[in-house]
Copies of this chain bind each other. A is one copy, B any other.
């Protein structure tokens, strides 16, 4: 019953097998190998356009490198105040961008709106040379609150970005989870809606350590190669990074994994929703469940060996909130065991 994070799971068997299979003979290092070339072709198919692709080992590196490539050191990025880049990367974007700032706006659902971007830009422009001027917007799909932007949401954001001369970055650490929820194509959820650069996550959804930065306009990728190298993010034995992503996309493994994780989250949510005293505080649209419940219930669940995190307070909610994350490795049995445990414990506490 480990719902701490999608990072506590191991590697999806198909991906591990691909790593083993790639361990044949000598190939050029630093990305000159055939697997790296195949990966780019594969992602062009997936996104139905001419993408420029760079694999890296972590999501933080993907986000920070993507933003540094499109934002000047004296610029800024608009995002929500719960964005992973703002709260969970220990300042990586600022480090990579050379000191550029994140301009954060509040969001109860994790979703940023086109109107908030307009307002932030208006304030920045008014300040003239004394204020940092945003050059990009970063949205997380699915969000840190387990919610998902619709294609229309993204399109609206993309339009204000075009109008204001802003790059649109998507942190897709849980890209697949959002995609299967929307049921649209990768193209529809990204470049067709106005996304310029995507952190395409695979680690949380089954890879060992593999993310790809995907540019939808080759001109925007200028300098990325050297930035990756000088960040120490260019693997020498690159084939072992590339084949992870290749296997991830092969036979829609990524979509199957995401569908499973999302289904487990929905099942968790359904099981918890009907327990008296438990309230879901966010829509469950991906692989995360946020539930408010009495402190005694939380303590009892932890005491029984369930693993999860307490989350930040939600305004208007007096009980503490916990976060439950599911993954490709979560089993229906675990979910069942957890919800059953919650049901019985809650009943016991109520008695």
Which chain A residues have a beta carbon within 8 Å of chain B's beta carbons? 2, 4-5, 7-11, 13, 16, 19-20, 22-30, 56-65, 72-74, 76, 87-92, 94-102, 127, 129-133, 203-204, 208-209, 223, 225-227, 229-237, 239-241, 307, 329
Contacts and interface: CB of A to CB of B under 8 A. Distances in A.
Closest 8 CB pairs of A and B: A61-B232, A7-B29, A60-B232, A7-B236, A98-B98, A94-B99, A74-B226, A2-B26
B20 A16 contact: yes
Contacts of A131: 87-88, 90
Contacts of A236: 5, 7, 58-59, 203-204, 209
Nearest to A227: B74
A327 to B, nearest CB: 9
A252 to B, nearest CB: 22
Nearest to A84: B130
Nearest to A229: B90
A153 B87 CA distance: 29
27 contacts: A8-B26, A9-B237, A10-B24, A16-B19, A20-B20, A30-B130, A56-B232, A57-B57, A57-B235, A58-B234, A61-B231, A63-B232, A64-B232, A65-B232, A72-B226, A87-B131, A89-B230, A90-B230, A94-B100, A95-B98, A95-B99, A95-B231, A101-B102, A129-B226, A133-B226, A208-B237, A208-B240
Contacts of A232: 56-65, 89, 92, 96, 231, 233
B89 A94 contact: no
A90 B61 contact: no
Contacts of A57: 57, 209, 232, 235
A127 B30 contact: no
A249 to B, nearest CB: 19
B98 A73 contact: yes
B74 A129 contact: no
A2 B25 CA distance: 10
Contact of A91 (B5, B91, B99, B233): B99
A139 B223 CA distance: 25
Nearest to A22: B10
A103 to B, nearest CB: 11
Residue among A97, A99, A129 facing the most chain B CB atoms (10 A cut-off): A99
Contacts of A89: 130, 229-230, 232
A64 B208 CA distance: 24
A73 B73 CA distance: 9
B74 A223 contact: yes
Given A98-B73, A99-B98, A130 B229 contact: yes
A10 B223 CA distance: 28
A24 to B, nearest CB: 7
Contacts of A101: 91, 94, 102
Given A57-B209, A235-B58, A237-B7, A230 B91 contact: yes
A97 B23 CA distance: 35
A65 to B, nearest CB: 8
A32 to B, nearest CB: 9
A73 B95 contact: yes
Contacts of A129: 30, 90, 225-226, 229, 234
